[in-house]
Structures are given as structure tokens and as C-alpha cells.
Amino acid sequence: MSDVLLRIKNLKTWLGTGAAPVRAIDGIDLEIKKGETFALLGESGCGKSMTALSIMRLLPPVGRIVDGSIHLGETSLLDLPENRMRNERGGRMGMIFQEPMTSLNPVLTVGAQIAEAVCIHDADPQQNIKARVVELLRAVGIPDPEQRFGEYPHQLSGGMKQRVMIAMALAGRPQLLIADEPTTALDVTIQAQVLALMKQLQQESGMAILLITHDLGVVAEVADRVAVMYAGQIVETAPCKAFFQTPRHPYSRKLFHSIPGRDKRNERLAVIEGTVPPLDQAFSGCRFADRCDVVMPICRHQIPQWDQYTEGQGVRCHLQGDAEATVEPPASVKKHAVAAVENSPPTPLLSVSDLKVYFPIHKGIFKRVVGHVRAVDGVSLEIPVGQTLAVVGESGCGKTTVGKAILQLIKPTAGQVRFDCDELTQLRGEALRRRRADLQIIFQDPMASMNPRMLVHNIIEEGMLAQGIGGQAAERRIRIEQLLEQVGLSALAADRYPHEFSGGQRQRICVARALAVEPRLIICDEPTSALDVSVQAQILNLLQGLQQQLGLSYLFITHDIAVVAYLAHEVAVMYLGRIVERGTVAEVLDDPQHPYTQALLSAVPVVEPAGRRKRIYLQGDMPSPANPPTGCHFHPRCPQAMDRCQKSYPKAIALSGTRSVSCLLYGTEDPASEESWKRDL
């Protein structure tokens, strides 16, 4: 009996019916065995999600499968009528979509939505439906499942919404679980919980997992086999260990070179120039040829065939998997020194002291204030000229609110924000507007932060007009074209609309808009979180180069520790509105002192096995900032918590001239109890 669960042969999925349909999937073959995790890698637009939708037969109205076969066990899915396919979809096959909030019905309770899946795919007259739903919620690690049964999606955190999606997918006891970017928008701690949960459920049920992702660290930690997809085709497959030891295809190798990290701080990241070619054409050569550093004449006019050089390993390349033909970064990429911390002036450009942002909670017909959400609860930080301070932490810890309060987009409840020689909290009207030219922000979602009805020229010019800089219209036009070229775009982009650009290009436009008013400090709010690794490398190179050329300072808000290690000079770790640890990149990442920092770093998926830390799993979710725990806010989740952690919030203890930590494990007023605790450890 074969151990292959899913078998796909020569699958072709096209979009559109005109003379030039988009060949989203153009002849792929893959097999997934029972009980294994198969990872599908590649950039946006390569066809990964379309592969999943083809398997589930959930294609958009313009999509159609024109050739090939898909077998789940002995069942040919493409030959099933729709009524029988519905039994397979959600039954033997379950799917977790990328964005749980758009996949859940906001007007139905999570219990009702899971119950619907149970009724369709796991109906048992002897079983109480609610009991089965509660069992599923408990299985995916949601605390107090009886109460969560009656709650709505908006009442759950991002991690819990993703767990609800997993519970729905498991309702039919699937043999195959398709997970489409299940952790992309999650913090590293929640990501670790979701991945561990999927692995545990896989071991208990024996199901196979098709994991679609662009995160090489996630693949390295959970996958058994890997396939790399490019422009509608699979260009390489290999067992996970072999793939990370010796990637064969030039595209795979360039993905590895694009990963940021501490070892590349003195280099510019390698980028994959250009974009995925349009798929509404018939190719006559290698689809990667225009972006390949080792392209040969044959690549331009002959389509490479699949070369199966060992069992389970193959590559689609004219180099025929020649491991010696390595793809090295161009010489201009290799060395590009990062500005050193010690060369910075001692006087900070930005100084924030005891910043607090409280949001009132109103209740009743008279909207009386019954409490406050303490989004930021006493944050102090400094950023010198030409340096980057990274702020990391889970969603809801107050990172973005700190950035907006510094810019005075949200009025602080208390505290001081001193920029250069001005106290920003005291500025009003025209004085504050003039200062805004010195402080700009790059938002997480570039498309949402630009007016889709405005040309790029008008989007960039808007800030210049508001600040009264740039001269006459002709002079502003010249300046805008210079800015576009400075961020790596053509001057012709000025007369196009935002939707005509890729995600990375849109983020470059946002950088150009921020630079238009000649700022000295830019707040970067998760600017690379939704980007592919190759596009992320372009943006990081751009930000680093601009910092060196213009002496810019950055407040970089992120949950990507690899980006922090590459770009930042100092790190501040936030938890529930407060900074719990701060220091240089080397101090915090090499030797984390606070238990939360230790757990945060242990959850980061890394490519190199030697770089992995012993995993520290945090129980539950972050408490509500409207009702923080007494004492240390982290003690309900802390694996090293002591009784005294519940009594008072720890003061910041200076461990060095650049390092501080807020934890009762350090600087305790009771040395005897501290020594006793260490002996017990």
C-alpha cells in the first residue's frame, strides 16, 4: 500500500479566458506522504496559494484547471462532482487561510462557526455538538473554551483567531491540512505556539501538512521536505536538511543570501533584481533567466527540464544541480559598513521620559469613565543622531502607540517627548506643524497609507505642500523625480497610481514620501513584516544606505528579530506598555536577561541549527492593558516567577552603561531570598 497521500501530476491552472490567460500554475508535480510536513516556498505571485486553491477546488470565477490530475489517496479530486467535493473539502482536507479575521464571520460566535463545520463533516447522533466544539477549542489550546464558545472573533487575539481557524479545519478529522501562511502576521511567541500546536496535532492524528510560506526559518524548523516555486513552476525539491545544506537552484541560493542577520551587519543584503515575470505569456527559456547571476546563453532560448538527480531531490535548471556553480553576492553588495555606535554624538536627538498614553473606558448611557486602557505606561528612551533603536514585543504591547505618541498623532497622557531643543508635548498649532517635517513615519501597510486615487507625484508632493517647501511646481517635480531615483524607482513612476506597483515598490514610495520633507527621524512601523525575503532585503538596504548618506535616525518597530540583528544599534523590549529590557544589539540578543526577552528570542525560528535556543513556551496570551496584573505584569506567564513578583513592579536596574532590565531577579532588596531562589534553580 502506497504511503503517498496527495499526488499532483502536470497541474495547470489558468486565470482568464482571453487570448493571453494568466498561467498561474504551469505544469507542477508533487507528492505528499502520510504524516509528513511538506513546505512550499517562493515569492508572492509565484503560484503557492493558487496551488492550494486548486487542490481544494476553490478557484476564483475566472480560474480553471486546464490539465493535470490531483489524487487524494485513490480519489481523483478533479473528477468529483461538486456535492461530493464538498465532503472532501473540510472533511479529509482542511485549510487554514492566511488572514483569520477575513476568514471568520464577524457576526457569528466562534462556537457557532466551528459547530457548522462539525455538523457537516463530523455529525454523530450520539455526540453533543457543543461538547465536540469545546473539545476542539481545548485541543488547539484555547483557555476557558466554554466561555470562548460564545465570543465573537473581534474579542479574540490574533493568535486565538488563528487557533479557531485550526479548530475549524480539524472538525472533519482531516488527513491533509493545508496551511497558507498561517503565521505571517503573528508575533514570534504566538507563531511558536501555533507551529508547535500543528506539530502536536500532526503527531496525534497522523495527518499530513502542506505548509505554504516564505519564511525560511519556519521551514527549517518544521518541514520534512521542501519545494521551491517560481513563476508557476516548481524549480527545486529536496528533503529539508539537504535543502538547507546545499540549495541547488540559483533562485533558492539567492533567497538564502537575502536573509538578514547579525553576520551580515557589515554587508548590504543580496537582492533579487527585478520581479517575477508576468505569467500571461508562453515562455521560450528559463523563467528566472532575467534575474539570475549565473545565466547562460542556453537559458534564454531553451526551457530547462526537470532533473531528478537523487531520490526525493530534483531541480529545474540548465546547471543540472551543479553545487559548484554557487551564486555569490555581487562585489558591490559584500561590504557596506554599518555606522558604529561609538561614533555617535552623546547628545540624543530624541529623548522620551516616562511617556504614558491612557485611553478612557466609557460605560453607560452617560458614557462615564470607569477605567483606562494603559497602552503605554511609563516608557523612557533615547535615540542619538544616525542610529536605530528597535522596539520589539508582542502585538498589543504598545509599540505602535509609542511611535504615534512621539509624533503627537496621539496626545500623551503624561510624560515628556523632547526632540532636539523642543518639548513636543508643549507645541501647538503652527509650531507643531513646522516640527512635523523633522519627524516622519513609514506605516506597515503601504497600500492602506496611500490614497489610491492620487498619482505617486501627488502623494509625495502632499507633504511638501503642507510644509511649504520645495519651491515652485517645476522645482518640486524635479525633487520628486530625484527622490524616486534615490529609493530605486524610475522617475516615470511619478505619473502612475499605487495599485500599479508591487508591495516592495509601494513601500519605496512611502520612504520617498517620508524623505520629501527632509526629516531627521523616521519611525518605521513594521515596514517589512508583510514582504517576501527578497523584497525585504531591498527595503533594508535602502533604509541602511539612507541612514549612512543622510544621518537619519530610526525608531524601528518590529517583531522580526533577524531584522533587528541586521539593522538596529540598540534594542528595547516592551511588554504590556512598559520597557522590560534595553541595551545594545549584542548585549540583548547574545545574553538576554529578562525572562520575557529570553522567551521571545527562543521562539524565533532560525535557519542554522546551531543558532537555535532552547524553546521557552509562554502560557496564555498577554493580559489586558485595561486590567494589568498586580506587581510585575509578566509574572502570570513567567516560568521564573516568585511570590514577590506579585507585590510590586520591579524598577529598572542598570547592568552596564548601556544596559538595563526591569526584573526582581536583579537588584533585589532581599539578597538572602535571591540566593535561596538561585540554589533552588
Q: Rounded to two decimals, what is the model's pTM?
A: 0.83
Residue 90: what pLDDT?
84
Q: Has residue 119 been placed in a domain?
A: no
pLDDT above 90: residue 27: yes
Q: For residues 630 and 649, is the Cβ–Cβ distance under 8 A?
A: no
Per-residue confidence (pLDDT) for residue 341, from 0 to 100: 43
pLDDT at 453: 93
Would you state the pLDDT for residue 272?
85
Residues 186-215 have a mean pLDDT of 85
Give the closest residue to 306 by CA, choosing from 6, 33, 27: 27
* pLDDT band at residue 668 under the 50/70/90 scheme: low
CA–CA separation, 625 and 393 (whole Å)? 14
pLDDT band at 417 (very low <50, low <70, confident <90, very high): very high
| Residues 144, 148, 154, 160, Cα dihedral to 10° | 50
Please, where are the H alpha helices in 379-492?
Answer: 399-406, 429-435, 456-467, 473-486
Is 628 among the domain residues?
A: yes
3-state secondary structure of 284: coil
Q: How far is CA 322 from the centre of its chain?
A: 33
The radius of gyration of the chain from alpha carbons, rounded to an integer in Å, stands at 26
Average pLDDT of 649-660? 92
**Over the stretch 108-147, which tens digit does the pLDDT of each residue have?**
999 999 999 888 887 665 568 888 899 888 888 787 888 8
pLDDT exceeds 90 at position 671: no
CB-based contacts of 147, cutoff 8 Å, min separation 6:
none
pLDDT attached to residue 44: 81
The verdict on residue 549 lying in a domain is: yes
CATH of residue 622: 3.40.50.300
Q: Pull the grid cell for residue 467.
A: 510644509
List, for residues 304-356, the tens digit of each pLDDT value. 999 987 878 899 999 864 444 444 544 444 444 444 444 444 578 999 999 99
Spell out the SS3 assignment of 339-353: CCHHHCCCCEEEEEE
Distance of alpha carbon 490 from alpha carbon 485, whole angstroms: 6
Torsion sign across C-alpha atoms 7, 235, 287, 251: positive
Per the structure, the count of domains in the chain is: 1
Where helices occur in 265-327 by DSSP H, the ranges are 297-301
Q: Is residue 373 part of a domain?
A: yes
For 194-257, the three-class secondary structure string (H helix, E strand, C coil) is HHHHHHHHHHHHCCEEEEECCCHHHHHHHCCEEEEEECCEEEEEEEHHHHHHCCCCHHHHHHHH
Residue 493 domain-assigned (yes or no) = yes
The residue segments making up the domain with residue 586 are 341-671
Residue 394 resides in a domain: yes
Element (H, E) at 381: strand 368-384
Is 369 a member of any domain?
yes
When the pLDDT of each residue in the chain is averaged and rounded to a whole number, the result is: 86
pLDDT in tens, 592-612: 999 999 999 998 888 877 677
Indicate whether 662 belongs to any domain: yes
